[in-house]
Chain A
Amino acid sequence: MENIVDARGFSCPQPVIMTLNKIKKAKKGDIIILVDTNTAKENVSRASQSKGWEVVEVLPEDNDYRITIRKG
């Protein structure tokens, strides 16, 4: 079961807070984060990596980004 965080429309630091909250709950597996600015994309990726999660994929989707992070 995939975890999805929809942080579109939220400005800094909300996307990171939402991602970290999900990371705390999920512990491991895959999490998908939807964001709509490059800043949020960079911040979410940086924060996930600092928590030991791997950024598996960043897909542009229309005007947004779909980020997949993973911890085994």
Chain B
Amino acid sequence: MRNVLATRWGIIGVGAVIGILASLLQFWGNPANMGICVACFVRDITGAIGLHRAPVVQYLRPEIIGFVLGSFVAAFAFKEFKPRLGSAPIVRFVLGAFAMIGALIFLGCPWRAVLRLAGGDWNAILGILGLTVGIWIGTKFLSSGYNLGPSHKTYKAAGLVFPIIMAGLLVLMFFNPFVAGEAQSGVLFYSVEGPGSMHAPLVISIAIGLLIGFLAQKSRFCTMGAIRDLILFRQAHLFTGIVGLTVAAFLTNLMLKQFNPGFAGQSVAHTMHFWNFAGMILSGLAFTLAGGCPGRQLFLSGEGDGDAAIFVLGMVVGAAFAHNFGLASSGAGVTSGGIIALIIGFIVCLLIGFSMREGALGGV
């Protein structure tokens, strides 16, 4: 059967749907220029379960759960659920952690970078440039033989683990629901102020998450892949998807009066151009070495890819460190700890890129 969503117009359409829904999520309560931010939302989930205690960014974002479960449903329905694992999981874990740290220095993943652009936050331009440079460095490694080796097929149950964890989080939220004005409900933490306190109604968030998860699994939507394929293969297929997202989000923002152009005073953003740029170089490089943007890693986790799930768990741990160690930026700018972590991140990613290439092990 022909996969309509993987055609040129399919991927543009999926990008546009994501862009429109992201703007609407902002209209319905999510933070400005953060209708969907995979990195920020995974960070919020990390806080909701108490792995970090930054009180302003704690909320069990249902969109993320929806991404994984929507992808799982699509993969299952179209016989694409293929449990697999074993491609250098510890390396993917570390890449996930540093990808998150880089993203939290910029204050956004590639998804939010383009949503910030579509909302008129020009700081995003520095982030997107950094992302492109990071991906470019990654493609140099890819074309000189870097790869993390093959995965192998595994038990169906092993592929179900991550979707079940996500479903479990949803159950946890059901039994520990948000109580207005309360910072804690049972075992879960809820922000009462700051970005974590801003969210669309749960039913809307989960429904949109499921829909995007479903569409993105079928269309293979990937923000990092968009730029990577353009550089590496001169192929614009995935790139048209991210253009569709940006244009649709921009037009929706115009209609909803959510477009506020400028550098200063943007929501959950800072104006330190160099660090916006550098943070996203680290993220872009880590995503490229791991083979997918944070959204794509969630969708892959849903279709049974255990290595992608490990990357996501690495992001959770990276987010915990970012806030427990004070590495994450705020509206006031970067922190000295963040700069040190950024340098360590670059060293680690470069070592991974240089050391894990064909022939280095003989067997891979």
Footprint of B on A, CB under 8 Å? Answer: 8-14, 16-17, 20, 36-39, 42-43, 46-47, 50, 63
Contact = CB atoms under 8 A, between A and B. Distances in A.
Contacts of A37: 80, 82
Contacts of A13: 142, 225, 228-229, 232-233, 291
A61 to B, nearest CB: 14
Contacts of A63: 82, 153
B229 to A, nearest CB: 7
B3 A17 contact: no
Interface of B: 3, 6, 78, 80, 82, 84, 87, 142-143, 147, 150-153, 220, 222, 225, 228-229, 232-233, 235, 237, 291-292, 300, 305, 307
A49 to B, nearest CB: 11
A46 B142 contact: no
A37 B78 CA distance: 12
Contact of A11 (B3, B78, B80, B87): B87
A16 B225 contact: no
B150 A8 contact: yes
B82 to A, nearest CB: 6
Nearest to A20: B233
B235 A39 contact: no
A38 B87 contact: no
Contacts of A50: 233, 235
Contacts of A10: 147, 150-151
